[in-house]
Structures are given as C-alpha cells and as structure tokens.
Amino acid sequence: MGSMLEVHGLTKRFGGFTAVDRIGFDLAEGEILGLIGPNGSGKSTTFNLIAGALPPTAGSIKLDGQEIAGRSPTEVCHLGIARTYQIPRPFRKLSILDNVALAAYYGANSLISRAEAWKRAEDALALTQLPADPGIRVDGLGAAGLKKLELARALATQPRLLLADESLGGLDEHEMDQAADMLSDIRRERGITIIWVEHIMGVLMRVVDRCVVLDHGEIIASGLPRDVAHDPKVIEVYLGTDAESLQTQVGGRAAEAGAC
C-alpha cells in the first residue's frame, strides 16, 4: 500500500528568506508523525503549505497520489485534511458548541443540516472532553480548554488527516500529558492519521511513531523517537533546552515496552 501523504522538495520563500527548504517525508495511514524543531524552524509554515493557507514556492504534496499543492484551504479541508492553529482564534461570543458546529458545517464536503452540524460538533466535543451545553461560552476557557477547542473544531470537519500545531503551548505538565493522551486516543479510536508539530519534544516523544526534525527550514534528522533523541545534530539544536528531559522520556517509554 502506498503512503497517504507524500511530500517532496517542499519549499517556501518569503522574499529572500527560505522558511521551508526542500523538505520531504512520507506518512502512512494511521501513523502519528512528530514534526519537531526550535521556534522559527518552519513547522507552522509547513502546515500552512499542506493545508493550503500558503502556496508553496516549489515542491509537491500528494494525498493518496493526487497532487494537492497550491489548492485552497477549503478544498484541502474537503479532501479530509484538518489543521489546528498555534494561536486559537475562536468566536469569543459564541458557545463552545456553536464554534464547533460552525466548523462542522463549513468543513463538511457536502451540504449538511444544522442538526447534523450539531451532532458532529457534539461528537467532537465528547472526544475532546469539552462541554456540549449550548449555554457555555468560549470566554471561560483557559489555555488547555482553548487547545481542546482547536482540536474539536478540526475534528468536527471529519478529517482523515489531522495537523495539530503546538497542542501543548501554555499547558502545565498534567495538561500536557492529557493532551498527548488525547491525540493518541483520536488516532486509536477514530483511525485518524496525525502530524503533530511541537517545539518542545518531551511528552510528544512517547506518543509519536516517528519524528522529523526541522532546523532553519531543513530536515536535520528523521526516524524513531529513540534514535532521533540520540542524534548528535538534534542534541546540538536542543542543547541547553530539553535534550535531557527528551532522553528521559524516550528512555522511559522504551523501558516500558521492554525495548532496551
């Protein structure tokens, strides 16, 4: 069976600055791929290219063998790719339920009824453990709630592929664990393939099947989390940040699985 997503030579320049530099990777159906790298390494830009928010300068993005590079965000969404935003911008005056129902309505690839949009929203809210009560507004949500709302809005479009951008930003340790488990559950229960972007590696490393590491727009390493975590180039990039915690996490996971 071929890959679900194939990215080749993907490049984005902003004027003379190359934010994403000829990157390539494949993604199999049902996989969780971690796309990691320091701030400014080109992770969100890569998502913007895949999701159609930005046209690539060069390169190819194939979904099931079909070229999708340069398509509009709406088209890409209707093909089954949903993304979350690093900075959530919900409709603040609407209920949580209505925010998600709007995503379900506009993200559906055929016209659906209001009742169906609400049903899809309720389902996405159950998956992200948010209240579906129409009286509960978005204003009251903290960082963790807003991250969940981003996920719920993406899931309500019923994607096959979810692009999750910095789902851990602003969360405490317990909330990070919960967010990681949530992504893991989404894959297991719904069979949704996931690319998970994060600049910190820790908790991500225990959930993803494979990692791709970006630095200055280029891929500097890719492979199994435990291999990537020991790669000298990756350690250098992360030196003085969380190289140690990253190795502890990966070591812990490998020990649990009896892998070493």
Q: How far is the CB of 257 from ligand ADP (least distance, A)?
A: 29
| Contact indicator for 42, 217 with CB cutoff of 8 Å | yes
Helix (H) or strand (E) holding 249, with range, is: helix 243-256
Using CB under 6 A as the binding rule, whether residue 19 contacts ligand ADP is answered as yes
Q: DSSP secondary-structure letter at 19?
A: E
- Print the binding letters for residues 20-39 with ligand ADP: x by CB under 6 A, - otherwise: -----------------x-x
Other Cβ atoms closer than 10 A to 212: 25
- For residue 38, what are the contacts with CB-CB under 8 A and spacing of at least 6? 199, 215, 237, 238, 241
* CA–CA dist 192, 159 (Å, integer): 7
Q: Under the criterion CB under 5 A, does residue 44 sit at the interface with Mg ion?
A: yes
- Pick one of Mg ion, ligand ADP, none as the site partner of residue 251 (Cβ within 5 to 8 A by kind): none
Closer by beta carbon to ligand ADP, 21 or else 31: 21
Helix (H) or strand (E) holding 56: none
44 sits near ligand ADP (criterion: CB under 6 A): yes
Nearest to 166, CA basis, from 44, 3, 40 = 44
Cα–Cα distance list, 238 to 199, 213, 244 (Å): 10, 11, 9
Interface with ligand ADP, residue 247, by CB under 6 A: no
Nearer to ligand ADP among residue 76 and residue 121 (C-beta): 76
Q: Token digits for 57?
A: 């300068």
CA-CA-CA-CA dihedral for 31, 37, 41, 44, to nearest 10: 40
Nearest CA to 26 out of 43, 56, 57, 1 is that of 1
45 lines the binding site for ligand ADP (CB under 6 A): yes
Restricting to residues 77-106, name those near Mg ion by CB under 5 A: 86
- Assess 16 for contact with ligand ADP (CB under 6 A): no
Give 8 or 13: the residue with its C-beta nearer to ligand ADP. 13
Q: How far is the CB of 124 from ligand ADP (least distance, A)?
A: 25
204 counts as binding ligand ADP under rule CB under 6 A: no
Tokens of 209: 């099947």
Q: Which does 42 bind (CB under 5 to 8 A by kind): Mg ion, ligand ADP, none?
A: ligand ADP
Give the total of residues touching ligand ADP (CB under 6 A): 10
The CB-of-172 to ligand ADP minimum distance in angstroms stands at 21
Binding site for ligand ADP (CB under 6 A): 14, 19, 37, 39-45
Binding site for Mg ion (CB under 5 A): 43-44, 86
